[in-house]
Amino acid sequence: MDQMIIAQLADEAGVDPKEVNYMAHSGGAELATALLSGTIDASVSGYNDFSDQIEAGRLKMLGISAEEPVDGIDTPTMIEQGYDVSLVNWRGVVAPPGLEDEDVEELRTIMREVLESDTWADVLERNQWADSSLIGEDFEKNLEEERIIVDDIWKQLGY
């Protein structure tokens, strides 16, 4: 995900994405350490990976890859800064193929109940997540749209 955002940003800035030296790290803590030590000059990660260092003034947030501004995060989007870059990290709940229709519908019902719960609302607020939940055909359609975008980015990187 991080490399794809960097590739999009490089392309928008007129830089060949293949020319960007991307170094993968195992997580936000490792990235923050690399940034603070000067091992790397910039990075991409989830806001919560860096929020404490940003709030302490040790790191500066340059932009967010969301399509719209995010409540509680006082940083402009890449789009607001003139770069057509928007890619958000998301998760899906999936099941193995071959389930009976009634089992699929039961799982979808459970997911709807979870998404309507106060617990889910608290998780969204605590983590400053946007709720982009999709179920069924809406999820399948969105997944196909995302696949096309991701495939295009990987092609730009030569994969």
What's the CA gap between 107 and 105, in Å, rounded? 5
92 pLDDT tier (thresholds 50, 70, 90) = confident
| Angle ∠(143,97,105) on CA atoms, nearest 5 | 75
| Angle ∠(67,70,75) on CA atoms, nearest 5 | 95
Q: What is the pLDDT of residues 95-150, one digit of tens each?
A: 999 999 999 999 999 999 999 999 999 999 888 788 889 998 999 899 899 899 88
Q: CB atoms < 10 A from the CB of 110, how many?
A: 11
**Helix and strand counts by DSSP (H, E) for the chain:** 6, 0
Q: CB atoms < 10 A from the CB of 3, how many?
A: 16
pLDDT at 73: 87
pLDDT at 141: 93
Q: What is the pLDDT of residues 23-68, one digit of tens each?
A: 888 888 888 899 999 999 888 988 888 889 999 999 999 999 988 8
- The one-character DSSP state at 22 is -
What's the CA gap between 158 and 152, in Å, rounded? 10
What's the CA gap between 97 and 94, in Å, rounded? 9
Q: Which residues contact 20 (CB under 8 A, 6 or more apart)?
A: 6, 7, 10
